[in-house]
Amino acid sequence: MNNALYLGAAQGIILVIALFFSRANRKANRILALFVLLLSFSCLFEAIESASFYKCFPILIRIRWGNTLLFGPLIFLYVRALINHRFPIVLHFIPFFTAKLALIPFYMLSAEEKVLSLNSGNTSSTVSDDWYSTYFFPVISLFSFLQILFYLWQISKDLKKYDEQLFRWFSNVENIHLNWLKHSVWALFVVTIVSFFYFLGELLLSSSIRHMGAYGGFTLVLLIYAISYKAISQPDILSLFQNEKKTSDTPKHINDQVTDSLGKAEETEASTKTESLLSRNLKNLMEREKLYLNEKLSGNEMAETLGISRHQLSEVLNNELETNFYNFINHYRVEACKQKMANPKFAHYTLLALALECGFNSKTTFNTVFKKETGMTPRQFKKTLQQ
């Protein structure tokens, strides 16, 4: 186990450097780098921790106590920074600083008094040590578990809202969805629950299952490192959302043509009549100009093409057409694929080639959306055409 912990510490340092100098999602990755650095030092201390080591370096005795209060806030702040939410930083670290302030009396003890705290059990010649080991450590550990679970719950809510925004404004989400992070959050939740029961076992049964807790901690480290590797390859979400707000690349004549057709209806955009007119123009535009063939088409581009605001587009899609931007655009893409599958001119095309031809940017998205629309996979649908 010690060799694995040494390896984990070394691997963590490499990840910290890669995350810190990563250009994409810079703020988020630097927060994650701080978390990985904390875990790396935890691995190192776990490997070298022994009575003889602390007798040589008594200043490090119990230096790790309270550090678990950083786990929840750091992973939460990483996600908040990744999906571009503003957040107060200092507030989340109050429990950690409170715990460290409570430990100051112990840290100020002489080296000889600290070494006495290495005695097994809670026996000690110092009253402060008895209080720390009997009450402080169990309470702070229990609070850490509850804090992590609370932050994981908050992260799940944030990721759900993020998904809603993606499907509201993007037609392809392959590069910016965070499904991998949602799965990681669930894995962290399971590891935290299991580690909590290990902690209770260690607390109630002394050292009889202590080695099992070490395995739980090592699993946590592996999971965070896996998240870090994925984070390094994650495209810059902030820049993608900024690009979505830039001026549309759609030809100007289309915008003028549609804007003229709206006429005075734009002046009463909140009325049902306006929404009906906008929905008709939206459908006509899709059928005539086939904008869905643009795999990077966004809600902002569509709104600018129609000469309306993003809010108007959202109202039309949600209230009039009872859908979102993602489903609306991909419906047209699926219909285009179905037409090409039935056309002998495209008989030599592979399913992936057809998908790319119709505006999809990946086979996975194509298969998922096609089955949702038709109830069949693309291959099954193609077979029905050949019967």
137-192 pLDDT, tens per residue? 889 989 999 999 999 999 999 999 888 888 888 888 777 788 888 888 998 898 88
Can you give the residue range of the structural domain that contains 254?
245-322
Sequence-distant (6+) residues with CB within 8 A of 75 are 32, 35, 151, 152, 155, 188, 224
Tell me: do 33 and 179 sit in the same domain.
yes
Can you tell me the distance from the alpha carbon of 66 to that of 377, in angstroms, rounded to the nearest whole number? 52
Tell me: do 214 and 263 sit in the same domain.
no
Q: Are 318 and 326 in contact (CB under 8 A)?
A: no
pLDDT-wise least confident of 6-10, 290-294, 298-302: 6-10
Sequence-distant (6+) residues with CB within 8 A of 351 are 363, 366, 378, 379, 382
Instruction: Tell which of 242, 259, 277 closes a domain.
Output: 242
Tell me: do 278 and 359 sit in the same domain.
no
Token reading at 238: 């902030």
pTM here is 0.77
Number of structural domains, the chain?
A: 3
Tell me: do 93 and 200 sit in the same domain.
yes
Percent of residues, the chain, with pLDDT higher than 90: 20
Tell me: do 194 and 261 sit in the same domain.
no
Tell me: do 95 and 233 sit in the same domain.
yes
Tell me: do 214 and 346 sit in the same domain.
no
Sequence-distant (6+) residues with CB within 8 A of 158 are 79, 80, 83, 85
Tell me: do 181 and 259 sit in the same domain.
no
Can you tell me the distance from the alpha carbon of 39 to that of 35, in angstroms, rounded to the nearest whole number? 6
Tell me: do 158 and 277 sit in the same domain.
no
What pLDDT does residue 7 have? Answer: 78
Average pLDDT for 34-57: 79
Tell me: do 202 and 60 sit in the same domain.
yes
Q: Are 258 and 305 in contact (CB under 8 A)?
A: yes
Which tens digits make up the pLDDT trace of 89-143?
888 999 999 999 999 988 888 888 887 776 544 333 344 446 777 888 889 989 9
Residue matched to tokens 């005795």: 61
Tell me: do 46 and 74 sit in the same domain.
yes
Instruction: Tell which of 226, 242, 258 closes a domain.
Output: 242
- The residue among 70, 19, 13, 22 whose CA lies nearest residue 43 is 13
Tell me: do 225 and 286 sit in the same domain.
no
Token reading at 227: 């998240």
Instruction: Tell which of 212, 242, 272 closes a domain.
Output: 242
